Chain A
Amino acid sequence: MGIKKVGLNRNIKPQSLAEKVFFLDFMKGLKTTIKHLFRKVITVDFPYEVVEPAPRFRGVHGLRNVDGTEKNDFNAWVKKLKIKPPEKGETRCIACKFCQAACPVPEIFVIKAEKLDVPKDHPHHGLKVLTQFDMDLGKCMFCGLCTLACPTICIIHTDIYDISTYTRRGWILNKEQLSQIADDFIARRGKEKYDEKSEWPDYQKIWNDADTARAKAWDNNPPQFGPNYADQN
């Protein structure tokens, strides 16, 4: 077993007489702090300057709408759960409640789907639509299990972290609000996070390297990104 012994007199020399008399320990310390005095500022001046969260950031949830980037098995799932095939711009949610099942706090969700009230000969007869999807984010711990469970990549995490409200009522988001949040997010940063089949691509970056605020926090010397693995490009 590799053991390294540490201790005063073991790997640390005690103070010598010269150090004691001439306050050399303080001098050395001051030299370090004075060096730092001349370095560039690294403080990000929030809220005038904001660091953009990473693509994977787990913020407020959103419900994605159909926009042509669904997974290949999307239609199969729609059929299986007897949901009215959604048009472009309608929600991807098929009311399978997988998200609720995966969630450690299932009472966050209220999900309801109702049968369409159409005559028998209508092609949508007997099919359902999502009528209610409420989330109480006050109970959520942003663990991300719901987004991993969703078969249609409908429920997603966005990069919004500011959810303060005056009452608990403000944390309850309904279907429309959630869809709006997702739409905004996809328009803003969808390309960074998802590929054309809504999966996480391997070019998804650890964070946006064009972000100047983050570069500042990295001593104005941010890392240059390259591939992780030998066969990645």
Chain B
Amino acid sequence: MPWISEEKLNRLQEKFSFIKILDNPQAPVIEVPKENLIDFLKFLKEDPDYQFKMFIDWTVIDHGKKADPRFQGVLILMSPKSWERVIIKVWATDERLPSLITLWKGAKWAEREAWDMFGIKFDGHDNLVRMFLWETYPYHPLRKDFPVRGYEEVELPSLNETERFDQLEGTMNYSRKHTALPTLEDLEITQKARMPNKKSQMVLNWGPLHPGTHGTIWFLFDMEGEYIKDCDIIIGQLHRGVEKLAENLNVQQIIPYTDRMDYIAAINENHSVCIAAEKLLGIHEKIPEKAKYIRTMMAELSRINSHLLWLGTYALDLGALTMFLYTFREREKLMDIFEGITGARFTINYFRVGGVYADLPYGALDAIEHFIKDLPQRINEYETLLTRNRIWLKRNVDVCIIPEKDVYQYGLTGAVARASGVPYDLRKIDKYDAYGEVEFDIPVGEKGDSYDRYLVRMEEMRQSIRIVEQCIAKLRKFSKNDPFFYEPEDRRMKITIDGRGTKLKKGEVYAGADNPRGELGVYIYMPKDGIKPYRFRLRSGAFYNLQVFTKAIIGRPLADAITLLSTIDPVVGETDR
């Protein structure tokens, strides 16, 4: 596990007497007083020995109404020098925390989210508005005293539509009341608050329902002629409160909800939750080998699936319709494979904390092999159509460059980080599941322009094929009776395939998987053993990657917005959660 080493921790303790190193078996946690936070972080970020300069996540825990202080900030940092992580906690006295935007620009959205969800004020933030909900929404929903169902206060009788006087009497009836909904005025206030100092006469609105935005993202562009001078993004139209829901479910029941986050790569989302929960329980190394290889293989197939969709829609947005039809043909086969193995084409829910829910059906490996054999040639075809086509080059080369330092500043992950020259890949760093035992390369770009992001993803597909081939070869050697689900030796531990009674352990952990859209990290905080996670934070890669859009687009013509959005490739289910 790549966590900050003991020796480095001790040196920190010697240097800063005010920090407290908490006793947590899963990961090292440092508690820092609020007054000293900025100085301490500056040291961590800039000291040549430490260099924890990569921003990963910045969120809040609510300890309940009775606790004093009630809220606690949690910061997760990564050191690109040694690929080590650290968790830093700080108490938010008076419901206030210092803002980190002077140190990491990526903290801007993280703090807005914390304000939106918990009502924590950040001193020094330049425009602390809500992230997902509209500006006039009165509550902070992730607070522990906010009910899961929300406050039902608006009447919506259409919920109970009936046919021919057929009354929906009895238990299955829907309540006529609905939780608050934004009106047009609310949206107008929200839009104004997001861009308080616009310069031009008119702000160009792109979205929320525009085919080019690949979902419900609402862009605001402050234009000067063709060129974009300022930009902000309103997301949240797909916000369903997965983190809140997760606090009321057992961990196996959370997995189907993550299917609905990044619905294009549902398997990878499931994977993150499984890894985090397994690391919290300390059983990740003990998962049966067969399950590890099945999971690795499925995760890579899912990556190919996701990249195929990305390639098709990306080319479609830039005007190459044929590509879309070709990639969807291959994707259809992958969907068939998923359907046969897992039971669903899209919302897969196949992985479990402890393995997978069923063994491979008859013929599964043959179907995958058949598909994989064909694919490299297909990818070559795609490349002939695009890679050296002059229109493609004109629209992509040197468009919207994301420099390496922005990767650290904004906490970019996935293909976006790798295209900017940072070989950040959790599959190599954490070596979860069977990734430590298979061979593959990390494609790394040079400039960080849209073309590099395209090339990196194309190469990733080829590397995924390599991994899948190795997994198949390995899986063939297993016996049909080998277990695919972990049976705990410890009698106090209970893990079930259907989730009933699955218990989590006391402690806190941050773990994740490298998903097609960046790192989906899961931070679980458990003050005591229990079934339901106390705090279940989902660190969305797509969310942080989308944030860099607001910077990389500045000074570019409007047409590049499509290219940039497609190469960042966010999916709204995951950015909004």
Q: Do A and B bind each other?
A: yes
- A: which residues have CB within 8 A of B? 1-8, 10-15, 19-20, 25-26, 28-29, 31-33, 36, 42, 53-58, 98, 101-104, 110, 134, 136, 141-146, 148-149, 157, 166-169, 172, 200, 202-207, 209, 214, 217-219, 222-232
- B322 and A104 contact, CB distance less than 8 A: no
Interface residues of B in 342-394 (CB under 8 A from A): 342-344, 347, 349, 357-367, 369-371, 381, 384-385, 387-390, 393
- B475 and A228 contact, CB distance less than 8 A: yes
Interface residue from A141, A166, A205, A217 paired with B256 (Cβ < 8 Å): A141
- B389 and A25 contact, CB distance less than 8 A: yes
- A217 and B333 contact, CB distance less than 8 A: yes
Q: Chain A's interface: helix, strand, loop or mixed, by majority?
A: loop
Q: Give 17 CB contacts A-B under 8 Å.
A: A2-B441, A3-B443, A7-B447, A8-B393, A8-B451, A15-B388, A32-B385, A33-B322, A54-B336, A149-B500, A168-B174, A169-B163, A202-B359, A206-B361, A229-B480, A230-B476, A230-B478
Interface residue from B332, B333, B476 paired with A229 (Cβ < 8 Å): B476
- B446 and A5 contact, CB distance less than 8 A: yes
Interface string of B304-344 (1 = CB under 8 A from A): 00000000000000000010001001001100110111111
- B361 and A55 contact, CB distance less than 8 A: yes
B440: which A residues are within 8 A, CB to CB?
Answer: 2
- A225 and B367 contact, CB distance less than 8 A: yes
- B347 and A142 contact, CB distance less than 8 A: yes
6 extra interface residue pairs, beta carbon distance < 8 Å, beyond A200-B358, A223-B367:
A6-B445, A55-B340, A141-B256, A143-B347, A166-B163, A206-B340
B12-20, B164-172, B541-549: which one contacts chain A? B164-172
- Say if the beta carbon of B526 comes within 8 Å of chain A: no
What residue of chain A has the Cβ atom nearest to residue B371's Cβ?
Answer: A223
Q: Cα distance A3–B478 when bound, in Å?
A: 30
- A145 and B163 contact, CB distance less than 8 A: no
Interface string of B431-445 (1 = CB under 8 A from A): 000000001111111
B439: which A residues are within 8 A, CB to CB?
Answer: 2
- Say if the beta carbon of B160 comes within 8 Å of chain A: yes
- A102 and B499 contact, CB distance less than 8 A: yes
A227: which B residues are within 8 A, CB to CB?
Answer: 362, 480
- Say if the beta carbon of B257 comes within 8 Å of chain A: yes
- Say if the beta carbon of B562 comes within 8 Å of chain A: no
Most chain B CB atoms below 10 A, which of A32, A214, A219: A32
Distance to closest chain B CB from A222 (angstroms) = 8
Q: Cα distance A172–B160 when bound, in Å?
A: 13
Interface string of B147-174 (1 = CB under 8 A from A): 0000000000001111100101001101
Distance to closest chain B CB from A11 (angstroms) = 7
- B171 and A134 contact, CB distance less than 8 A: yes
Interface residues of B in 416-439 (CB under 8 A from A): 423, 428, 439
Q: Cα distance A158–B357 when bound, in Å?
A: 18
B254: which A residues are within 8 A, CB to CB?
Answer: 104
- A218 and B500 contact, CB distance less than 8 A: no
What residue of chain A has the Cβ atom nearest to residue B332's Cβ?
Answer: A217
- B452 and A7 contact, CB distance less than 8 A: yes
- A144 and B357 contact, CB distance less than 8 A: yes
B371: which A residues are within 8 A, CB to CB?
Answer: 223
- B480 and A207 contact, CB distance less than 8 A: no
What residue of chain A has the Cβ atom nearest to residue B472's Cβ?
Answer: A228
- Say if the beta carbon of B37 comes within 8 Å of chain A: no
Interface residue from B343, B363, B478, B479 paired with A223 (Cβ < 8 Å): B363
What residue of chain A has the Cβ atom nearest to residue B368's Cβ?
Answer: A223
What residue of chain B has the Cβ atom nearest to residue A108's Cβ?
Answer: B172
What residue of chain A has the Cβ atom nearest to residue B365's Cβ?
Answer: A228
Interface residue from B364, B447, B497 paired with A206 (Cβ < 8 Å): B364
Q: Cα distance A136–B364 when bound, in Å?
A: 33
A25: which B residues are within 8 A, CB to CB?
Answer: 388-390
Interface string of B444-466 (1 = CB under 8 A from A): 11110001100110010001000
Contacts A2-B442, A7-B446, A134-B171 given; does A144 touch B361 at CB 8 Å = no
Interface residue from A12, A148, A228 paired with B480 (Cβ < 8 Å): A228
